[in-house]
Structure 1
C-alpha cells in the first residue's frame, strides 16, 4: 500500500508534460539517474514529506532500497544519512541532494564507493520500473542432516585468484585438460570451480542463463565429468555477486534446480551484496540454510561452500545449514603478509573442523608467483596442518616444476587428507619460531616447525612437542628423508620443516 500511495502522490505531483513539479510543491518526489556507475548502481531517489518529517530512500542495483536516516531540507538541499556497509569505523555515510531547477546533484557514498551523479525528475512509469521488489521473508532456521560428502577436505581448482571474472568456457576446459595432463588429478585434485563472472540474465521464467562466454553450461559440465573431474559454480544470496553479475536473490530454489540440471557438483555461496539484507547472525544463518535446503531438495549431491568471511562464528553452525566448508577470513592475496595472517592468526581462532565440515582459509596461491618457494611451502604446510580445503588458484597450464613439487608432495597431501581430520594446533612459540602439532591416523603425529622471522634459525624438536613420551622414527616430509630424533634443523626465513613421527 505504501508503494501504491507513493506512486499516486507522485502522479499527482506531475506536470502536464510528465516531469515532476518543483521541489517545493510535491508531497512525494522521485528522481532517476541515467548514467549511474555500475557500483553501487544508484538508479533512483524517492522522498516523502509529512507535516513534521521527511523520509525516503535511494534505490541501488546492489542493495535494493536503502532508507534515509535523519533526512531534512535546508532550502533546496536535502541532507540525510544511510547505514554503511563493512566499515565499523564509519557505520553511516552522509549524503546531500541539491535541487537545481528540475535537476538534482546527489553526493554520498556506500562502503568503499563515493557517489556523485546528476538526476532528473522521474515519471510514474520510471518509478514503477525501478522500484525494488524485496524477496519473500527467509524461511525459518532448521538443521540439515549430514550427507557423508567431504569426508576429507575438498581438493581442486578455482578461477578467481588468477582470472577474476575474466573467464570463459574455453579457459575452463583448458584447466580441466591441464589438471589431468599434469597429473594433478591423480593426487586428488578433482573439482574445477568457476567462480564469479559466468552469469548472464534471467529469462522470462526467471531461470538464470550463463552469459555469452559460456554458451552451454550443461555441455561444459559433461566435458569436465568425462575427464573424471567435477564442476563447481559460484553465486550469491544478494542481487549482485561481488563482480556485479546476477545473484540468486529471490531465486534461490530456482537456481539450485538449475545447477542440478546442468550437472554441477560444488556450489560456492558468497555473501557479497547480500551483506546489506542479511547483516545479523540470524539472517545470515537463515540465508545460508535456505540455499542448503534448496541444494538438498534437488537430489543431486553437491559440495556446499559457505563464503561469509568467518562472521558470527561460522564454524559453530556451518554444518547445521548443510555446509561442507566455510570461509573463516576475507580474500587471500599472493603475498606472505596476507597468507601468514590468515594461516597463523585468523583461521586458528575458529573451532576445530573435521570430516564432513571444514574451516576454509581461502584458496591456495601456490604457482601465482608472489611468494618465494620457501613461503609457498609454508603456505601449503599451514593449510595441510589445519586440514584445510586445497583449492588451487593459478593457471594450471603454466605450473612451474617448483610449484608442482609443492602441490603434489604426497607426504604433505597425506597430512591434509588424513582421515581423522584433526585441525592442528600451535603447541610452542619462541620468538619467530612456531611449532604446530597434528595427530594422525595410527598414532602418528605431524610436527610443523615454522620460521616466521627474516633470519635463518636453528630449531630442535622434542618428544613434548609431539605429545609423546619419546620420539621414534622421524621423517622429513618435504625432503622425504628419514632423520634422527632430536635433529637440529636450519630453517630459512619464512621457511618450514614438516615432520612425521610416532613411538615406533
Structure 2
C-alpha cells in the first residue's frame, strides 16, 4: 500500500493540484462518499506502469482489497479480488467503468453486491482515508479457566431473530427460560448475538445501539433470574451483520463486557478473516481476546467462532477457549443439520471438561424439521457432548419441542462429567450406531436412521464395549427395555437413544 501511495504521490507532483497522471484513465485516487453496505467501499486507488496495473479498493469491512490480475478489457478496468468466506468462489471479478462524473465500481463480495459511484480524489485525501492497520501481539498461550466442566447450555438470539433484537426481547427470553422450566433443566446462558452494537464514543468505548439503552441493567436483570448472560463480537472491523467489531479495541471491549457484567463471549471471525487468513494470525487473534478477557478478572466463557478452520480443536484451549465451532452456520433443515452433526462435529479427541467441539446452535422449535428429525438433532448433539444453545422463540415452544429440550435423561448424557464425545462404532449404509462412555460406567448408545424409509435396527453389547448388556433404558420413551432384545423400528431421519449397563 505504501508503494501505491508513493506512485500516486509522484504522479500528483507532476500534475496540477487535485489531479493525477492518467497513464490509464483510471489511474489515481477515486473517492466514494456513500460507502454503502458490505463491504463499505470508501476509496479506489489505481497505478499503472507500462502494461502492469496495480491497485486496491479500501473498504470499511476488510480494509484494502487488493486487485489481482488487473487489466483493461474494452475500456473497462477488470480485476479479481479474494472473496471472503466462500470456498466455492474463492475469487470474484470486479469492474470499474468511466462515467461522466467519475467511475462506477461493480462487483460482489460474499453475499453482497457492490454498485458504487466514485469521484476523482487526491493523494492527500487518500492518506486521510487510508485504513489504519493494527498489529497482533506475538503468540503467547493464554491460561484457560475451568469455566465449562460440561458443555454450556442456554439460548442464543441469532437463529430466530438474526440482528433484529432488542432489550425487551432478551428480557422476555430470560423470563421464558424460567417459566417453561428450561432453566431448571440446565439451560443457563441467555446470549445476545449480532446486532446490539452502536458506535464508539470519543474515548473509543463501544456503545450499544438505541435498542439496548442500558447493558448493565439488562445483565443485572438476567442475573436476577438465576441465569447468566452472553454477548457477541468479531475481531474484524465489522461483525457478520455489519455492526462495529473489536478491531483495534480488543482490550477495551473485553473490559467493557466485564464492566457490563457479561459471562460469555462469542467471538466471530467474520470480516476479521480478511486480515487473519492463515493459521498463525487466526490463532493469535483469538489469543489476543482470550488474554484480554483473562485480564479483566471476570470469569467469561470464551466461545471461538471461526468455522472449524486450521484444526481449531488442537489449539482452542491454548487461547483460553472453552468451546470452538467446528463448521459453518447451521440452518433449520435436516440435510444441513445432519451433515454438521454426523460429519462436521469435530474430532472426539479434542473434547473434554472445559473444552468442547461446537457444531453450532440448536434449531429445535423453529419449525423447519419434523419431530423425528429434531429428535435426531437433540440425540446427535447430546451424544457429541455439544453445547446445547437453543435458537427459537422461547415464548412459542410447542409441547413436543419442550419435551425434547427438557428431557433430563438425554441432557444428562450431554452433561456427563466425563466429557467424552461419542462417535459411530458401526455403520451399515444409511444406518449408524454411536457409543458414548459415561462417568458411572454405563454407556449411551444411539441408533440413527439417515435413510428415507423406516428401518429395523439392533443395538449389540459389542457396540457398548460389553460382553453382555445387563440393563437398558430407552431415554426418549423414559422406560426400561429388555436388555436381550434391543431391536427397534427407527423411523426415517429418526433416532433411538439408550443408556445401557453391562458386563
Q: TM-score range by the shorter chain?
A: over 0.9
The residue that corresponds to 1:180 in the other structure is 178
Given the alignment of the two structures, is residue 358 of structure 1 paired with residue 349 of structure 2, yes or no? no
| Partner deviation per Cα, 1:198-250 (whole Å, 9 max, x = no partner) | 00100011111100100111111111111111110000011110000000011
The residue that corresponds to 2:249 in the other structure is 251
| Partner deviation per Cα, 1:427-478 (whole Å, 9 max, x = no partner) | 1112322110000012100011111112222222111111101101111111
Match of 1:217 among 215, 221, 225: 215
Structure-1 separation of matches of 2:354 and 2:246: 25
Count of aligned positions? 501
Give the deviation of 1:489 after TM superposition: 1.2
Structure-2 separation of matches of 1:25 and 1:327: 46
Unaligned runs of at least 5 residues, structure 1: none
Give the deviation of 1:116 after TM superposition: 3.1
Query: With structure 1 as the length reference, what TM-score do the two structures score?
Result: 0.94
Paired residues for 1:299-448 under 5 Å: 299-349=297-347, 351-448=349-446
Match of 1:155 among 132, 153, 156: 153
The residue that corresponds to 1:193 in the other structure is 191
Structure-1 separation of matches of 2:128 and 2:207: 22
Most deviating of 164-173 and 139-148:
139-148
The residue that corresponds to 1:465 in the other structure is 463
Give the deviation of 1:6 after TM superposition: 6.3
The residue that corresponds to 1:298 in the other structure is 296
SS at match of 2:379: helix
Query: With structure 2 as the length reference, what TM-score do the two structures score?
Result: 0.94
Give the deviation of 1:356 after TM superposition: 0.5
The residue that corresponds to 1:61 in the other structure is 60
Give the deviation of 1:144 after TM superposition: 2.0
Give the deviation of 1:295 after TM superposition: 0.5
The residue that corresponds to 2:490 in the other structure is 491
The residue that corresponds to 2:452 in the other structure is 454
Give the deviation of 1:83 after TM superposition: 2.4
Give the deviation of 1:52 after TM superposition: 6.7
Given the alignment of the two structures, is residue 481 of structure 1 paired with residue 479 of structure 2, yes or no? yes
8 Å CA contact retained: 1:96, 1:107: yes
SS at match of 2:270: coil
| Partner deviation per Cα, 1:244-271 (whole Å, 9 max, x = no partner) | 0000011111110111111110000000
8 Å CA contact retained: 1:13, 1:27: no
Unaligned runs of at least 5 residues, structure 2: none
Give the deviation of 1:91 after TM superposition: 3.2
SS at match of 1:268: strand
Q: Relative to structure 1, is the Cα distance of residues 130 and 325 closer, same or farther in structure 2, using a 3 angstrom cutoff?
A: same
Most deviating of 352-361 and 481-490:
481-490
Q: RMSD of the TM alignment (CA)?
A: 2.2
Structure-2 separation of matches of 1:395 and 1:348: 28
| Partner deviation per Cα, 1:11-70 (whole Å, 9 max, x = no partner) | 647756x5x457359996111223443012122101234467432210111100112233
| Partner deviation per Cα, 1:81-109 (whole Å, 9 max, x = no partner) | 32232334443333332334551122333
Q: Relative to structure 1, is the Cα distance of residues 479 and 105 closer, same or farther in structure 2, using a 3 angstrom cutoff?
A: same
Match of 1:139 among 134, 137, 150: 137
Structure-2 separation of matches of 1:397 and 1:101: 56
| Partner deviation per Cα, 1:322-369 (whole Å, 9 max, x = no partner) | 110000011111111111111111115564401010000000011111
Paired residues for 1:237-248 under 5 Å: 237-248=235-246
8 Å CA contact retained: 2:264, 2:303: yes
Structure-1 separation of matches of 2:133 and 2:386: 36
Q: Relative to structure 1, is the Cα distance of residues 422 and 48 closer, same or farther in structure 2, using a 3 angstrom cutoff?
A: same
Given the alignment of the two structures, is residue 40 of structure 1 paired with residue 14 of structure 2, yes or no? no
SS at match of 1:292: helix
Structure-2 separation of matches of 1:261 and 1:7: 46
8 Å CA contact retained: 2:20, 2:27: no
Structure-2 separation of matches of 1:74 and 1:394: 50
8 Å CA contact retained: 1:9, 1:27: no
The residue that corresponds to 1:85 in the other structure is 84
SS at match of 1:442: coil
